Structure 1
């Protein structure tokens, strides 16, 4: 099994490789170290690259958090200081080469609330500032709250994304834009990340789904379109990641729709499938030659309880198509934000997380 090499050493190796093979090395910036991670440097901007020889590619890390919005107490934190809005978990996210969350809100201060919808979430554009400051590199807005303020809110969201230059997947001005992967290159690995939602309220499916004639969300209900995008990304990527909004609220095991879609995505060429929606943690592990997470739970959320307040960061070490290692950094939601579990309770929290794969049909090691 390959060994993860800290990003600071990778940069030196990449410079040497550039001289030999004429490839370009992207600029990097330092991230804050944590007790559980090596000091790493994050790539600053996405880069494209021609296919690279195997010997040039080195392992990288990507961390995932769950559902994020900025309602209630979180709005107060955002208004006070966007750069510290996500609290201490930023050190965990920032220590990885890449980090991703599900942004479960419209980015607007206007728009019209979805008619008849019980819960509608929105946040100002500083929400994107908060994510970036917390070490998040890309977010998905393909979820059942991404268009809570309908087409007016969508227009505001897309404009805010464009102004901020913060990468967001799963949403767009048309179908192609919504399904389009975000691409970056890390340690010689060409990474493609696609976002889509399997959860949409029945009355909003037509109005919220992106088509060639209207903006909206990338829908996983259109399996053929999603699988087509995965196959397309497979052709010119070393790692293909699909981020999904899926599952049944408060159901501890994956539902039939999740179990049916996951193997199809792996067969189409996805190496990692990660998602959430259930408000609680679900199992993670290996499925065939890929890695699947069925539920990341809440992450930065305005309410929480004994189960819905359990959260954490999933960090994968990857080289090309191989997920070499998974690591769980457990946390609990306190004051709306995830706070890493103290050392005394960490071992039990990790054991509890590993036990979740029991009903998920996933393995602790690749098959």
Structure 2
């Protein structure tokens, strides 16, 4: 059986989630999804907060939201779920200034959870994360176009920031550096995890489609997008799944009654060491009481219908297998 690698959208463990988790078991945040998560061979998530109790809220530019979680519970929670990689190139890793970013890197390192997309310098931020899913060696690069003031440079900590523009010289240089470093590890699967675009939009712009295809043409075997807080349609390009946005996996956000940012999927890729993808399964999820759960029948049906509708313009087709959607990878 091919190893199964899970991908989630945003995992935001701060604010009300952090408060609730201080009074309940550390794995409660994963709700009824915990068993499914633990049975995966690998798990990649966008960590949408810092893991620290230190620092002061970023004030150098206007930032309305600041997210951090107490590492005393948050790190064990990530371990219980079996998270292998945290993508850190996003718009919250400097919410509590550099001390909290450094705490986050240290806590993840101590827990043996790989990370990519942020570091002491841009050079560190472009380094890939690596893990093994069964007999499949995986490398993950993490990039963002959000919050340029959080960008790392040659001397300052921050994110692997780029404009999403295949013609931009800085973009091409940084992307090609990140991909080349990942390829040097000789992975069976190269993943690009991208925190891109604004909140609450329902489809990717053409520039994102061009960029995703550029990544696939340069050896990326799975595109893992997030940032919009709502899932987008799924495209298959040259046999490679492009998840333009995975939505939110867990958070405390206000729910839009039409866009339903509390509903998404756990994306599970079955792949092999020879680089052949077997299938991509989408398991519906929903957020309730600051925890993620397997979606109720009504929420699951809504999410499946919505994914089919959003994916139709890309020519992507699905079959139903129990509660999951199974994506055809013959695009």
Category of TM-score, reference length = shorter chain? 0.7 to 0.9
Note if contact 1:158-1:173 (Cα within 8 Å) is conserved in structure 2: no
* Cα distance, 1:64 vs structure 2: 1.1
Deviation digits for residues 75-133 of structure 1 (CA, Å, limit 9, x no counterpart): 13321232333222222221211112111012222212121211111112132221111
Q: TM-score, normalised by structure 1?
A: 0.77
Any idea what SS the aligned residue of 1:118 has? Answer: coil
- Counterpart for residue 130 of structure 1: 77
* Cα distance, 1:366 vs structure 2: 2.6
Structure 1 residue 106 corresponds to structure 2 residue 70: no
Any idea what SS the aligned residue of 2:40 has? Answer: coil
Number of residues of Structure 1 aligned to a counterpart in Structure 2: 305
* Cα distance, 1:213 vs structure 2: 1.7
**1:88/1:322 Cα in 2 relative to 1: closer, same or farther (>3 Å)?**
same
Note if contact 2:241-2:329 (Cα within 8 Å) is conserved in structure 1: no
Note if contact 2:117-2:125 (Cα within 8 Å) is conserved in structure 1: yes
Deviation digits for residues 158-186 of structure 1 (CA, Å, limit 9, x no counterpart): 23223333222211122232121122233
Distance 2:78 2:110 in 1: 15
What is the aligned counterpart of 2:178 among 213, 222, 229?
Answer: 229
- Counterpart for residue 184 of structure 1: 131
Alpha carbon RMSD of aligned pairs, Å?
Answer: 2.1
For residues 206-245 of structure 1, the aligned pairs below 5 Å read 208-221=150-163, 222-223=170-171, 224-235=173-184, 236-245=186-195
* Cα distance, 1:338 vs structure 2: 1.8
Distance 2:303 2:203 in 1: 18
Structure 1 residue 315 corresponds to structure 2 residue 264: no
Distance 1:304 1:113 in 2: 21
Note if contact 2:14-2:49 (Cα within 8 Å) is conserved in structure 1: no
Distance 2:221 2:301 in 1: 28
Structure 1 residue 95 corresponds to structure 2 residue 44: no
Note if contact 1:128-1:166 (Cα within 8 Å) is conserved in structure 2: no
Note if contact 1:234-1:270 (Cα within 8 Å) is conserved in structure 2: no
- Counterpart for residue 325 of structure 2: none
**1:250/1:344 Cα in 2 relative to 1: closer, same or farther (>3 Å)?**
closer
For residues 303-342 of structure 1, the aligned pairs below 5 Å read 303-305=253-255, 306=257, 307-319=260-272, 320-342=274-296
* Cα distance, 1:343 vs structure 2: 4.9
- Counterpart for residue 270 of structure 1: 220
* Cα distance, 1:359 vs structure 2: 4.1
Note if contact 2:30-2:293 (Cα within 8 Å) is conserved in structure 1: no
Note if contact 2:6-2:269 (Cα within 8 Å) is conserved in structure 1: yes
* Cα distance, 1:298 vs structure 2: 1.2
Any idea what SS the aligned residue of 2:90 has? Answer: coil
Unaligned runs of 5+ in 1: 6-58
Structure 1 residue 259 corresponds to structure 2 residue 203: no
* Cα distance, 1:347 vs structure 2: 5.0
Structure 1 residue 292 corresponds to structure 2 residue 242: yes
